[in-house]
Structure formats: C-alpha cells, structure tokens
Structure 1
C-alpha cells in the first residue's frame, strides 16, 4: 500500500465516518505527511503496513528538537489514530504505536481576558465602516456565545432564533447545539445585518452565511485571527490574544459570576465535563486573588 493512497483513504474515513471538520482533517494530514517524509528519507520504499515500532521511535525522537512537547503529543495522537485505522481496515494485525508514550504535559490553563479588558477591546473598535460594524458583531458573538472560530464562520442567518434568545451552532463532528444569545450580542448582529449585510451580494453558496467578506464569501480563519490580534494591539492589551481567548473568557466569566459548570459544558459543546473543569482552575486563581486582596489577615 502506497503512502499517498493510505493517507487519502484515511482522510475520507475521518471526514465521512468520524465526521471531523476540515481543519482537524488537515491537521491529521499534516502530521502524517511529516512521518511519510521522514520514512522516505530514512527507509526509502517502506509501506505503511511495514512500519515497525523502531521506525516510529526514531521519528518521534526527531521531533523532540523542533517541536514543543504539546505539539509532539498532538503528532503522536495523529499517529495512534492512523495505525488504529490500518488495523481496523485489516492492513495490519499489530499496532506499532502500542508502546510509544507521548511526553508528559502539565495541565495548561487557558489564556483569558478580564471583563474590563474584553470591554476595552470591544469598545475600541471603529464602527464607522462596514468592516468595523461586521467585526464588532463577530467579536461580540465570540464572547457572548463562547463559540469556536469554525462555529462562528459556519453560522447562518437561518441559525438565528432571536425570538427564543438562542442560536443554533454546528460544533465538532458536525454536532448541533443551541446556545443562548444575550440582548447585547443580538443588538450587534442585527445592526450588522440591517446596515451592512443587507447591502452585500452573497457569492453562490453563501446566501445564508451570516458573516461575509467583502467579496460576499465566507471569511477565513486566518482573517479572524488577524482581526483579533490587531484589535487587541489597538486596545493596548499586552497579552497574547486569539479568537479562542474570547471563548475561554466567556466560560471563565460565567464561572466567576456563579454559573453552573454543567450548563457551561453544554454551552461550549464539550462532550466530557473533564474538558470544562479546566476553568475551575482559572476560577480558583480568581478566588485566591479575592482572598489575598480583601481578607483582613492578608492586608
């Protein structure tokens, strides 16, 4: 079996059977192409079904000098999935990844903004242009609903149920969930739709897409990252800010203000409560600051 065929078949499997997003499929493909390139140089002509543990150990060792442990762990996860697929399809009867361990990672706390920083960033946006009005609506939606970038970009006008104060979101694995949307977020989305979106001619296939670029098409992930980074700089925020920072801030601020963690889990679309519990650690930091600041024995 040739690598090109194996990777193509695996991509189809991830899309059709696992229901993964294009972004996830691309990440898997990028990691596996690194392995294929490495083996082509080290063991020319070796097929996927012929790879042994020593080959993979050499590849993983080669990553140590160039990749952060967290990135190494992601690549190893990609390899595990691929070789499990080869066994599933009877291309192999053994798993060469079985004894290979990922680097031990500490639990990384998500980066968040304070409520004041979020407000400063949003209020610093120039809404005098069509692009500014759109960008304000997008960032209000990221923060107000805790969306992933892909969920924001896939949002359709037919997904807005403002009479019920909900929006329909398509998450990982194309799973749908309904997320509450507050009055402020609704206001900015309506302003964008009534003052900007209504004057655009959508490209074919994008008639229902909510947020459009100047060509009437779906915005790219890279564009959202650029908008967020530029706006954070204009607002004087020195932290590393990405679109996901708004999602983390959404969850952390809800928790700080007394929201139930299982409700937050539902809104974020986390399959496991364990994923959501990372915000408990962020909240503990917040509580610790309160004690250190206001407790009479700490003054």
Structure 2
C-alpha cells in the first residue's frame, strides 16, 4: 500500500493534474491526499483522470475562497470506505483494508497558515483523534515545526513549537522518519526560508500492523511543497541488515565517552521540546547508525592486527 500526501498549491492547472497522473501511475498510489486544492468542487471527469489502474472512492473539503481545500481518495481494489468525517482542518475516513482484513482510520490535515488559528486546529485534531477507535495514520501539511532543525533560520516561535509537541505527546503519536529532502517547504525567494511543514504520524496500534513503513520526500516540482510518498513496507522491500551490539566494544578505551558524546549530540540536535519517546527513538537510531560504521572500522583494524601477528 502506497499513499501520496501533497500540498500542490492549486488543482486547476493542467500541468499539476498531469504531474499527479504521473505520480499515480508510476508509484501505483492507493491513497491520495491533496491539500490546497483551491477548488470548491470536482467533476467526475477530473477525478476519473486521476484513477490510474482502478477506481477510487473520493471525498473533499471545499476551499475557503482562494485558499485551502482538501481531496482524499482510496483505491476500491484495496479499501472499502466506511464513515467519512470533515472538519475545518481535516477530512478523515474509517476504511476496511481488504488485504489485512483490518479497519483503520486515515486523517488528512491542512493546518492554518494564519497562526492565530493554530490552537483551534490543534483542538480539532485532538478531538478527532481521541474519538477514533481504530489504528490511525495522519498526514498532510501541519504548517507547524517541531524544533530548530525543522527550519533553516532561527526565527522560531518556541511557545508554538512546545504547543505542537505537547499535543503529539498527549495523543501518543509517532512521526514516521522521512528520507529524501531535508525540508518539505520553501518560500522560493533569492534567500529562501525552508521548513519541515509536511509530516506523517501513526498511532502505536497502526505501527504494530505495519512496522516496516517508510516515508520519502519526493523532489519538489511546481509547488513550494515536496510530495510525501508513504509506503507500508509490505510489498517485498529489502530488509536492512540487523544491527548487532558486540559486548567486547565495552572494553574498548574511550567507548563510554564516545557513546555519551553521541547521546548529548542527539539531544541537542532534537531540542528540548520533544517528548521522551521521541528522544529515545532519535538516540537509538543515531547510535545504531554510528556504531554500525564505528564497529565495522574497528573490526577491520583488529583483523589487520591479527593478520600482521600471524605473518
């Protein structure tokens, strides 16, 4: 199962629709979530043009004047859609995953660019998530950052950052780690500001069903946002080699100091406004990556010393 979350800045342009059709066909998208469609309605012909490889079940939130609007669709071959729900900043559906024989909830969000409405957006999100009885995934443009590493300059509203992180922690959501582009939005100026505004979160129950899920920020074309390509990891992806901690590393001089320094670096990079679960996952991921390379180099050195002694 693959999903595309994309703030495309207007559905009306023919080039944008051609781009969407190419994504749908090349990546075989099963769930399409668009933000900033700037459309009140969609014709049957327009929706059919996006249905590459099978029919979809569509619903949308109309734009507010010349901004906003969301479109959400599910491939009929993969999903049976139950209840739809809409709010000012989201559209969601309870869907039956035919392959997994499982009901789960998909929520598409578009947070307000007017930050005077951020509290309203977060309250609506909390209400929707707390009312959900199934495993869930939430994707879209939140128009909020979670720390200093999410923005290319230091013009950051820290109370808003803390407010966003507190909501994510209270709902026990986990953000899917993203590969590809470092930032997902740019203002496209000569001295550009770049931020991470587009994200995907999942509940613990959802992650238990799809533990190999991944997220890729695709190259930005046309829009000022990067499309997010989500994969549930069920289509025969190559599993990464397993990390194995070697107990003899503990006897290497300077190992404790190296690990402590790496942990301090991860905590500093992530910032003080993340919950303990985010900190733990970041530290574990960074240590695995670092120790994998460090251990390989150390093992190579030990083999060279052994070979020299033998010769």
> Shorter-normalised TM-score: what interval?
under 0.3
Higher share of residues assigned strand: 2
Q: Normalized against structure 2, the TM-score is what?
A: 0.27
* Structure showing greater relative contact order (alpha-carbon pairs closer than 8 Å, 6 or more residues apart): 1
TM-score, L = length of structure 1: 0.27
Higher helix share: 1
